[in-house]
A and B are shown apart, each in its own frame.
Chain A
Amino acid sequence: MFFLASAVRAQDAYRFGLLPVFNVNVKLKNNYSLNTKLENRHIFRSGTFNGELLNSQYRFERQDLAAILAKKLSANTRLGGGYLFRVESERIIHRLTQQISFTQPLNRVRIAHRICTDQTWDPDEPFELRFRYRIGFEIPLIGTQLDPNEIYFKSNFEYLARFQDGFINEVRALPALGYLTINENSFEVGLDYRLGSIGEGQMGHGFWMYLGYYIRL
């Protein structure tokens, strides 16, 4: 909260909305897995913190469909590559992703690191290249390991270096409460916060109410 309060300036812009994510993970043969994700963003309110440019009209912002094929390299390491198809304001955007992830099962907590690069082609924007690092952890709220019918807390922190004309930093944080269902799917509710430069010394803050559902096949 202190970080957020000190990071907010009156002229900064914000957006507030909803971010539902539907995720399906399929185990394949030979240590491969396929993760597909359907995600969209709904904006309920946007403006600047000083009250200017207020827009409280609902807007459907974008629809993403993404798939990542990953290969298990060791018990805790996965190498993956994928493609994202985005529809935003009648534009079609394409993105390629390459990533490596490591999970560390500790006594009670599970930690994961993800290093990722992606390339985006948007018909209205210059080509964009991003380097991303994300650390996340998951902790069961009951007992020492997460079991079905139990609640857990997870949090992700991500840094993105974006190259598009110039260089932009972006940070993201996602604290969420999750529930592992009896049939081992997960439902999560949280706040996805994103902070990045939007030009001329102005920062953009995104506050997205995150609803996630993960299915494992």
Chain B
Amino acid sequence: MIYRLPVSFLFVLSSLFCMGQEKFEREFKIKNDTIAENACVFIYQSEILEEKTRVDWYKEVSNRGTSLEAKFKQSGKHYSVEFSEAGVLEDVEIEIDSDQISEKTMENMEHVLSSEFEKWKIKRVQRQWVGSELNIINSFESDAAAEGVEENFEVIVKGRTKEDKNYFELLFSSEGKLLRKSKIIENSSDILIY
């Protein structure tokens, strides 16, 4: 407990330096033959896929740039592998339950969330792996972040601040330090309500 307080304080303090921004994202389904070769080779020839896994490819345009995304489901898990437009591997995201995050990391994340929001609820968690192609392939094989792979957690939160009530996307390090926070711009729900 003695060491936890200053550590938590540091996490809260560090979160103040993560500038908030809006996350605007558009996604377009694309055909296999329009995808950069490097990305195709990684997905189909690195043996990360199980025999019957079907891959859907998307072009994602957001305020962070344009990327290619390969989405698939295997062994009951949703995977999203992101590449630059030129086909350079950027990261892998795997949907997980929040109870798969270590207790210590979760505790730090909760401290940050409580300082960022008056009220919050975690709606979705993704494990994020960032690393070289070889290390990512090793991570797929071992089903855990291999050596040389940076593991982060991307969390979608339903949050309330003094000014805003919205969904937010937060990226935490494996220790629970806030790396990025952005407000999610959703499509209007008027077609469902009125």
Contacts and interface: CB of A to CB of B under 8 A. Distances in A.
Interface of A: 23, 25, 31, 35, 37, 68, 72-76, 78, 101, 103, 105, 107, 110-112, 114, 136-138, 142-148, 154, 156, 178, 180, 184, 186, 188, 212, 214, 216
B26 A74 contact: no
Nearest to B167: A75
B189 A110 contact: yes
Given A74-B165, A146-B187, A184-B187, A110 B28 contact: no
A74 to B, nearest CB: 5
A214 B192 contact: no
A143 B28 contact: yes
Interface string B52-68: 00001010000000000
Contact of B158 (A25, A76, A154): A76
Contact of B27 (A35, A74, A114, A144): A144
A81 B56 CA distance: 43
B131 interface: no
24 contacts: A23-B194, A25-B190, A25-B194, A72-B165, A74-B158, A75-B166, A75-B167, A76-B167, A103-B192, A105-B186, A107-B78, A112-B189, A137-B192, A138-B191, A138-B192, A143-B29, A144-B71, A145-B25, A147-B27, A154-B192, A186-B191, A214-B188, A214-B190, A216-B188
Contacts of A114: 193
A202 B34 CA distance: 59
B188 A25 contact: yes
Nearest to B78: A107
Contacts of B188: 25, 184, 214, 216
Contacts of B27: 143-145, 147
Interface residues of B, number: 26
B176 interface: no
Given A105-B167, A143-B28, A156-B192, 6 more contacts: A25-B188, A31-B165, A101-B193, A107-B78, A186-B191, A214-B188
A110 B189 CA distance: 9
Interface in B160-175: 160, 164-167
Contacts of A146: 187
Nearest to A74: B165
Nearest to A116: B193
Contacts of A112: 189, 192-193
B191 A154 contact: yes
The 9 closest A-B pairs by CB, nearest first: A112-B192, A25-B190, A75-B158, A136-B192, A147-B26, A101-B193, A103-B189, A143-B29, A143-B27
A7 B60 CA distance: 46
A48 B56 CA distance: 50
Residue in A37, A145, A180 whose Cβ sees the most chain B Cβ within 10 Å: A145
A137 B189 CA distance: 10
